[in-house]
Amino acid sequence: MAQDQGIRESEPQSFVDIVLSRLGLNLQKMGSSKLQRSRFWKKIYLTEFIPNVLLVLFGALVMWSASLTIPEASFPRHLVGILLGLAAAIAIWRYDYSLFADKSTFLLVLDIVLMLLPSIPGLGYNAMGMTGWVQIPLIGFRFQPSELAKPVTILLMASVVGAYNGKIDTLKDYLKLCGYLCVPFLLILTQPDLGTGLIVLVLGAAIIVCGGAKTRWVLITLGIIVVGAFVIVASSMTEGLPHILKQYQLNRLIVFVDPSVDPTGNGYNLQQAKIAVGSGGLFGKGIGNASQAGSGFLPEAHTDFVFALLAEEFGFLGSTFVLVMFGWVVLATVGLALRVESPFAKLVCVGVAAMWTFQVLQNIGMCIGIMPITGIPLPFISFGSSSMVSQLLSAGLVQSVWHHRKQVG
Amino acid sequence: MSLSTIIIILLIILVAALIGLYVFYNRGDERLQFDIGGQAPRAAGGNDSSAERTVRSRLLGLGLACTSVIAILLARIWSMQLLSRDEYVQQAENNRTRKISLAAPRGRILDRNGNEIVGNRPCLTVISKPEVAENDIEIQLLGNLIGMPAAAVRRKIQDQSEGAQSDRTVASDVSRRVVAFIGEHPYLFEGISVEERSARSYPYGGLAAHVVGYTGTVTREQLEESAASTEEGAIVYETGDTVGQAGIEYQYENVLQGIRGEQSVFVDANGSVLEYSTSVEPQSGSDVILTIDASLQQAAEDALASVIKKIHDTVSKACSAGSAIVLDVTNGEVLAMASCPTYSPNVFVGGISNDDWTSLQSEQSNNPLMNRAIAGQYPSASTIKPFSTFAALDNGIATNKSEYNCTGWWTGFGEASGQYCWEHAGHGKMNLVSGITYSCDVVFYEIGKGFYESDNPEAFQAKLREWGLGEITNIDLPGESVGRIPDAEWKWNYYTESADVDREWKGGDFTNLAIGQGDLLVTPIQMACAYAGVATGGKVWRPHVLKSVRSRTGNGSVVDYEPQVLREVEEKDEYKSMVHEGLVGVIYKEAEYIASYFETLPVRLAGKSGTGERVGHNPTAWYITFAPEDDPKFLVAVTIEEATWANSSAIYACRDIWGALYGVKNEIPYTVSSVESVGD
């Protein structure tokens, strides 16, 4: 591909071409701009691209409306996050993702470094109960390395699992792969960030399962996890046994099962989120009219509970739009996984699709009371640059898979 | 969450996992060709087509799982936003709507001519949340600002009498400067706010304090009582409400108390008001118009107070209390009702201070909150003599022909139990009429003896009760006392500590009763009503201070009080004229100087004095008069505790009140004396 060729100044150019060229996207020199464009669009996986753009735009609209009533929700900062994420996405899109396929050691090291950043004195930023943040000295820029660790983990797991070509037969190999996954997972748990840890676990597990792990081993692992979780919860709730779960984590579980236990703390948040969603009705209350989110009843309305804000303002139509877009994005990604042949490419798509699905399930499910409360952002919509960059980067990965696909026949 | 719930959830997950296991396990492990896309296989590999199939089926499974997740979420959102929407909307509304109740202005209390005795005025009040009690700096600042010691501020904030959760009143009637300072420095005074409340105002000062009563913050008992009430239209109080606690304020509470309004507001999660919504205007309480005449009331209070002061300064240091009543005998209207010592109802506004309360309750202050006109109980002394006369005539104990000889010392029950007439020199020949006029005790000793020896001795007490003595008059004021008409049964049951012989009813009890001494107790309002009956010829109207109620909202309609007959006593005209003649004689025949007090009046009076003895105390002085004697309209009754002979004490207050009633003054100076010769 002739990516290094410049665009001739004299050639008539469309606005899109100019913008893309400014962003460093040199298109193939072609005889006509129309043909140029059609070549360009072929490099973009529109099936995933369109809903993804719609989600980001809708998210921006939601955040703009949130900024009307919530002082913390800064619309310009949200836009900065989108731009940063866009830059990262374009970069990964242009870069051939497959170069990561045999760089598992590098990815593992990168993953570990990212996870340990908050623990480095002078970098770690722990204020107001936030953990897992890094503040770059002098410029004061803060971000969550664990967010960036998610796409890195996807690449890592895809690279190590992909090497097996869809057939993981020996227990030793299977355990080795699980071991790879445990590195980022356990590191995140030390931060502690159970929510992100679960995402990493789920996307890694999806990659291992889709990478051809023997069904028997998968089910046995699942059984161990279930029993282990049971033991952890039971032990945390029993006097005298080690309390592995923190009290607030246990409270979230308890409240999830019975919200009336604690109507002012976690149960209150859950109740308020449900009221926000339910009171939205079919058409919603309209932009800026969300009494639950706008008057402060709904906590974290622009971050963790952003779906409740969205559902309150835009109603069932808005919620459905968001869900359908997510469904579309995820299925497009799974569809791409089915169409590409490289195991690494397949597994990258699997990891991204699993991550999005689980985050949507966890975030929206939390707002409507079918999942326990965890601080997981809604991809493309929640306020927060780290998440935005990480999610757009993942989208860029999918686009990169499309871009660098090998045409067969 | 119980452990069993967790176990059930985990079991469900386990079952789901087992089903999944079964489904996956039956897929088989066929091997198919798989293009590895340029990568070298690290394990397995070769011409193995099963891997491709496995991966493909698992990718399809992933797609299915993702679709299911979206579908589940969508189903749940559909149920919440479309099916249960109304329920959630209601909850959201409850979240953001608060109802603020708006206090209704209390009705005013006016005199019969429309003069405002009790009104309302705005009152700037500093209120505090209970938590402020823990903030020493804030309390110190607030104390400095409003000029109160910090300890006092803390005590006010810790005071739970308005309810444990409610805001505490720190200071009422603070200056605009204080309000401005608090408003400008909200960060210094967190939890402190200023409210404009409506407070009672008293344009005439403490005028008629015992009649109008006072208000206070609703007590916990009253709150509970009103909450428990199922009566239609009953007022439901809220913490911090002002309610009547005494007098008219208490008696006509449900007339004076308005109906609260309600303002709906939209609030944010911190409770700050964002927007005002609908409101229901409060309805002001109705005005109460009294039968009291403010200027006559003032005159009565002044007259009573100046006589008491005179007595206090000259013959009786203990003299500080008394009462005066002016009645319209033709309908029972109370034109004036004074009680001494008095108090200022203003001290109760915004909550009475501990110091004020202690001083009002102290022995030294002699119970100023008590309305002695209706609650004071005294032996009636000689003022009972007209009723003893009626009893004697009705029961044949005496007739208009009966004659008595008073030597000043009466030995009807033997020398050993001889009794003096108040006039130790003796009155000489007496009959019933002159017995009343000169208040000759011997005449009534004979009547007492006559009853003692008759077949139906207790007909005497029955007659007194018939005239309303020892029974409440049902005046529309709270706290009326009953009094006491002693009889044989009562005496036996009352003196349980004494020897049987002392508990028995004796002749001496009757002679005491006949002259209004001994165990007899009456209230000034009882005597006033009984004399009103004598004045009207038997018809006693229920005494009342309510003239009408005027609504302040709507058409301002007026509801008038309908006078009610309390009792009608049947006496023969002959007897009535005998008593009447005796009572006129008291004023114009007994002594010249008595008549001189009333000579400037345009009307002639009738009445009776009385001096009640109390062992160890100065006597209680009574003076009850009505006029015009031939067509009675007004009645003035004065009672003074710890006084001296009625004719040199109570009579002066009586004279001054009559002077005020008819607009004439009589300047004869007081000649207070403890000498007996002034007559009784």
Can you tell me the mean pLDDT for B468-491?
A: 93
User: What percent of chain A is predicted at pLDDT more than 70?
Assistant: 84
Which helix or strand (DSSP H or E) is residue B658 part of? helix B650-662
The answer to which of A98-102, B165-169, B540-544 has the lowest mean pLDDT is B165-169
Mean pLDDT of chain B: 84
The C-alpha atoms of residue B562 and residue A22 are separated, in whole angstroms, by: 98
- The CA distance from B658 to B351, in Å, is 38
pLDDT of residue B579: 94
Average pLDDT over residues A342-357: 92
**Measured between alpha carbons, how far is A371 from A198 in angstroms, rounded to an integer?**
13
User: Which pLDDT score, from 0 to 100, does residue B603 have?
Assistant: 93
B-proximal residues of A, 294-323, CB under 8 Å: 295-297, 311, 315-316, 319-320, 323
Closest of B248, B249, B294, B297 to residue B477, by C-alpha: B248
CA angle A328, A334, A337 (to 5 degrees): 140
Q: Determine whether the interchain pair A234/B6 forms a contact, defined as Cβ–Cβ distance below 8 Å.
A: yes
**Nearest C-alpha in A relative to B69:** A361
B60 contact residues in A (CB cutoff 8 A): 338
Residue with more model confidence, B539 or B33 = B539
CA distance B655 to A227: 103
Contact at CB, B70 and A277, closer than 8 angstroms: no
DSSP one-letter code for A98 = G
Q: What tens digit of pLDDT does each residue of B217-244 get? A: 887 788 888 888 777 666 778 777 788 8
Measure the CA–CA gap between A225 and A170, rounded to whole angstroms. Answer: 20
What's the pLDDT band for A261 if we cut at 50, 70, 90?
A: low
The token pair at A402 is 């499309």
Query: Which of B32, B73, B87 is the best mutation test for A, with the most CBs of A within 10 A?
Result: B73
User: Which of A97, A271, A275 to probe the B interface (max B CBs under 10 A)?
Assistant: A275
Tell whether A338 is within 8 A of chain B (Cβ).
yes
Q: How many helices (H) and strands (E) does chain A have?
A: 15, 3
Distance CA B441, CA B517 (A): 11
Contacts of B89 in chain A (CB under 8 A): 278-279, 281
The 3-class SS string of B278-310 reads: EEECCECCCEEEECCCHHHHHHHHHHHHHHHHH
Prediction ipTM score: 0.86
A59: left (phi over 0), alpha (psi -120 to 50) or beta: alpha
- Partnered with residue B99 across adjacent β-strands are B264
**Between B409 and B28, whose confidence is greater?**
B409
What is the pTM for the complete model shown?
Answer: 0.65
Q: Quick one: average pLDDT of A284-303?
A: 80
Q: What is the dihedral of CA B344, B348, B354, B360, to 10 degrees?
A: 30
- pLDDT value at B46 more than 50: no
Q: What is the mean pLDDT of chain A?
A: 81
Cβ pair B292, B324 in contact under 8 A: no
Spatial contact of B548 and B343, defined as CB atoms under 8 Å apart: no
CB contact under 8 A, A169 and B21: no
Q: Is the pLDDT of residue B481 over 70?
A: yes
Which residues of chain B make contact with A169, given a CB cutoff of 8 A? 43-44
State phi, psi for A243 to the nearest 5 degrees. Answer: -95, 95
Percent of chain B at pLDDT > 90 equals: 42
Confidence tier at A6 by pLDDT (50, 70, 90) = very low
Q: Judge whether B494 is closer than 8 Å to chain A, CB to CB.
A: no
Q: Which of A165, A224, A241, A295 to mutate to test the interface with B (most CBs of B within 10 A)?
A: A165
**CA atoms of B497 and B554, how far apart (whole Å):** 62
Rg (C-alpha) for chain A, rounded Å, is 22
Residue B326 bridge partners (DSSP): B336, B636
Residue predicted with more confidence, A409 or B259: B259
pLDDT of amino acid B9: 57
Helix axes A385-403, A75-94, angle to 10 degrees: 30
Nearest CA in chain A to B82: A281
Residue spans of alpha helices (H) in B147-293: 150-158, 176-184, 209-212, 220-228, 247-251, 253-256
Torsion sign over Cα B345, B347, B352, B353: negative
Given CB atoms, is B668 within the 8 Å cutoff of chain A?
A: no
Task: Dump pLDDT digits (tens) for B625-661.
Answer: 998 989 999 999 999 999 888 888 899 999 999 999 9
Q: Of the given ranges (A133-147, A259-273, A326-340, B380-394), which has the lowest mean pLDDT?
A: A259-273
Cα B388 to chain centroid, rounded: 36
Q: What share of chain B is helix, strand, coil (3-state, %, to 5)?
A: 40, 20, 40
Q: What pLDDT does B34 receive? A: 33
Q: CB–CB of B76 and A275 under 8 A?
A: no
Is residue B500 predicted with pLDDT exceeding 90?
Answer: no
Helix (H) or strand (E) holding B609: strand B606-614
**β partners of residue B405:** B429
Residue B187 burial by Cβ neighbours in a 10 Å radius (0-12, 13-18, 19+)? exposed
- For residue A401, which residues of chain B lie inside 8 Å, CB to CB? none
Q: Does A224 touch chain B (CB under 8 A)?
A: no
Choose, out of A220, A295, A359, the residue to mutate when testing the contact with B (most B CBs < 10 Å). Answer: A295
pLDDT at A403 over 70: yes
Q: For residues B161 and B353, what is the distance between their CA atoms, to the nearest angstrom?
A: 13
